[in-house]
Structure 1
Amino acid sequence: MLLADLLEPGITVIAQDPAAMGRAAAELLFRRLDGDRSPSQHHIVATKMIMRGSGEIRP
């Protein structure tokens, strides 16, 4: 059970994919180590908002 599931109201969170972030960072690092001198790049790794109620206005 997650800590966020124990709170009332539940805490709305943004779920991230740390493995995907690590893979993207490692790929960029290895390209640089191989001599890639291209300009810096922006990469977007998908996230997901998990609504649990903390961002809602109660009646």
Structure 2
Amino acid sequence: MPALGLPFVIAGALKIVYDLAILAAFRSLRPPEEKKPSTSSPAAAAAPAERRSGDGAPE
């Protein structure tokens, strides 16, 4: 009877291996929200400040 749970153990182990492979493959990739803005363009640096001050939300 203990062998009935074996497929679940195998599936769990495969998922762990899969998750670790995905982590290793994309560890250095950052989403666009986390990338630092370039300082070469003054307009790009001013955009976040304009958006924050003009959204109408109380601070």
TM range (shorter): 0.3 to 0.5
Q: TM-score scaled to structure 1, two decimals?
A: 0.33
Higher relative contact order (CA 8 A, sep 6+): 1
Query: Whose helix fraction is larger, Structure 1's or Structure 2's?
Result: 2
**Structure with the larger strand share:** 1
Question: Which structure is larger by alpha-carbon Rg, 1 or 2?
Answer: 2
